[in-house]
Structure 1
Amino acid sequence: MANAVSFIKAITIATAFILSGVFSGTLSGTVFADESVLSYRGDAFSLDGSTLLYTEHHQLTYRQVSSDSDKAVNEPISRITRYQDANTQEFAVKENTYRYGSATPEFNLTDTRYGYYEEVTYENDRWRASYREPTEADKGKLGKPDYTPVIDSGFDEFVRSVWPELMDGDTVRFSFAVPSRLEWVNFRLIPLKNENGTLTVEMRLSSRLLSWLLDPVKLSYDTETMRLLTYRGLTNIRDKNGEGIQAEIRYTYPD
């Protein structure tokens, strides 16, 4: 049972990193002529919708490039996400850089309330992960993923890359990097419904034997813009006891 608890804790930390991506944000503050910046926010409420728990503030930098169909697409460059409590006090910062593919950004996260830090980097042709918290720390190389590798906010870019399959109702599998386990964890992304301009998908652990460890996470996307609208489930933000918070996060974008 101890291993199960440890696994749940690790997935708690991992799942909400999935909801952090819609293109990307600059770390240095410098934006070049061919780059654009998108700023948006997420408001995390209790599951009954009565209480604002915290907010996410995303600053994203991207460039437009031509795709195979000669249609311009947004390519992520970098991002910074700041987390604030309900009293607007900042407590965590996450940085991403997209040097090795839109679905696999390097990243680091610092939560000052718990002294928690984790990162994933690419060095010498290998993905490496590390984490540090008050009671333990570890680092190591990630092995070979079973499916398409996805790291942190690269999840949102991954969703767009498999958009046709999801719109056709097909389940998609991917391997998600979990630094606190120093390994890839396999997930299924399952389309639930497509109506009124919204695509709703459900994320589950790929192993049906282990799926009981984590309640499904539900995400909804705008079918026209492919932007994330809501995330409902376990987040990476913890309460005063260090346990993951269940929340519904609602995203708003500039006109």
Structure 2
Amino acid sequence: MNRHLGLWPASVVMAALAMPVTADMFLFTGSAVSADGAPLYDEQHRVEGSCDSGIFQPLEHQVTYIRRAEAGEKVFANKTLNYSPSSIRPTVNYRQPNFEESLKIAYPDSGSVAVAWQRTGGDIERSTVEISDNLVVDAGFDNLVRENWDKVVSRKSVKFRFLAPTRGTDYAFILEPAESAAINADHVVQIRPDNLVLKFLVDPIILGYNNKGALTAYSGLTNVRENTDQNYTATIRYEVSSYPDCDLTR
């Protein structure tokens, strides 16, 4: 058969155009330690996405939280994110059964985000927050960094709003260049409140990235509960085991 596109049957041409972009995988692990260097837990990340115009687009993100002991590994929490709504506003389903806690974030319509937080041993608290164009949810901060990679490498700042799901609201934040004695990376940035009062109440989160745009370090408050009163504050160092077959940044 002649391979010229014009001589292919119309059904074959339409089927070829309808084929999805090739799926790809981004795999990395993280090891969390306390301020004094004591090991806390490990994270296993599996991000499935696609290569679109040479850039990796995440879709499904699975996170497994593990503690290591003499008896072996024990999974104590897990999180599933879906980036179909937006690369910076994924749906979230987090569960930490040992504290009977869960968090679900969804989008009932294009203008709002719905939060259902199962408190530790308590009732489910529900809230709805209006979506702004620059609203970032959960791990969407990682894609925010990569989508503003030109500003990161040129050491410029990016303003955005960040969802505080357990408070049922969002706050103004800023992504900006940073210096850190604890994190050695090709690029170091921090996320902090863009508000004078909150700036003194909330410690910044420090992030390290390599030149490929992969997260190599995280230092600050985590979403993993330490006890009934607070979450872990930790430094997490990441290692990539498999990059996608396309670039993470433009």
Task: State TM-score, norm by structure 2.
Answer: 0.80
Deviation of residue 238 (structure 1)?
2.3
Deviation of residue 33 (structure 1)?
7.9
Change (3 A) 1:240 1:139: closer
Deviation of residue 183 (structure 1)?
1.6
Aligned partners of 1:65, 1:77: CA distance in 2, in Å? 12
Task: Name the amino acid aligned to 1:216.
Answer: P
Secondary structure at 1:158's aligned position in 2? Answer: helix
Aligned partners of 2:21, 2:129: CA distance in 1, in Å? 36
Give every structure 1 segment of 4 or more consecutive aligned residues whose post-TM-superposition deviation is greater than 3 Å.
Answer: none
Alignment correspondent of 1:118: 103
Aligned partners of 1:201, 1:74: CA distance in 2, in Å? 22
Change (3 A) 1:46 1:95: same
Task: Name the amino acid aligned to 2:60.
Answer: S
Task: State TM-score, norm by structure 1.
Answer: 0.78
CA contact (8 A) 1:191 1:202 kept: yes
Alignment correspondent of 1:143: 130
Secondary structure at 1:254's aligned position in 2? Answer: strand
Alignment correspondent of 1:127: 113
Alignment correspondent of 1:105: 90
1:61 counterpart (48, 59, 67)? 48
Q: Say yes or no: does 1:164 pair with 2:146.
A: no
Change (3 A) 1:192 1:124: closer
Deviation per CA, 1:31-79: give whole Å up to 9, x if none. Answer: x881122221100012232x2100001111010001xxxxx10001111
1:74 counterpart (56, 68, 71)? 56
Alignment correspondent of 1:154: 140
Task: Name the amino acid aligned to 2:229.
Answer: G
Task: Name the amino acid aligned to 1:246.
Answer: T
Aligned partners of 1:144, 1:97: CA distance in 2, in Å? 17
Change (3 A) 1:243 1:118: same
1:173 counterpart (159, 168, 179)? 159
User: Which deviates the most, 94-103 or 169-178?
Assistant: 169-178
Alignment correspondent of 1:226: 213
Aligned partners of 2:62, 2:197: CA distance in 1, in Å? 36
CA contact (8 A) 1:119 1:179 kept: no
Structure with larger Rg = 2
Secondary structure at 2:196's aligned position in 1? Answer: coil
Which consecutive residues of structure 1, in runs of 5 or more, have no partner in the other structure?
A: 1-31, 67-71
Change (3 A) 1:61 1:113: same
Which consecutive residues of structure 2, in runs of 5 or more, have no partner in the other structure?
A: 1-19, 243-250
Secondary structure at 1:160's aligned position in 2? Answer: helix
Task: Name the amino acid aligned to 1:151.
Answer: V
Secondary structure at 2:114's aligned position in 1? Answer: strand
- Give the count of matched residue pairs: 215
CA RMSD across the alignment: 2.0
Secondary structure at 1:180's aligned position in 2? Answer: coil
Alignment correspondent of 2:200: 212
Q: Say yes or no: does 1:96 pair with 2:49.
A: no
Choose between structure 1 and 2 for higher RCO, CA contacts under 8 A separated by at least 6 residues. 1
Q: Say yes or no: does 1:243 pair with 2:230.
A: yes
Deviation of residue 185 (structure 1)?
2.1
2:24 counterpart (23, 33, 36)? 36
Secondary structure at 2:241's aligned position in 1? Answer: coil
Deviation of residue 231 (structure 1)?
0.8
Aligned partners of 1:101, 1:136: CA distance in 2, in Å? 29
Change (3 A) 1:90 1:170: same
Task: Name the amino acid aligned to 1:84.
Answer: I
Deviation of residue 189 (structure 1)?
1.2
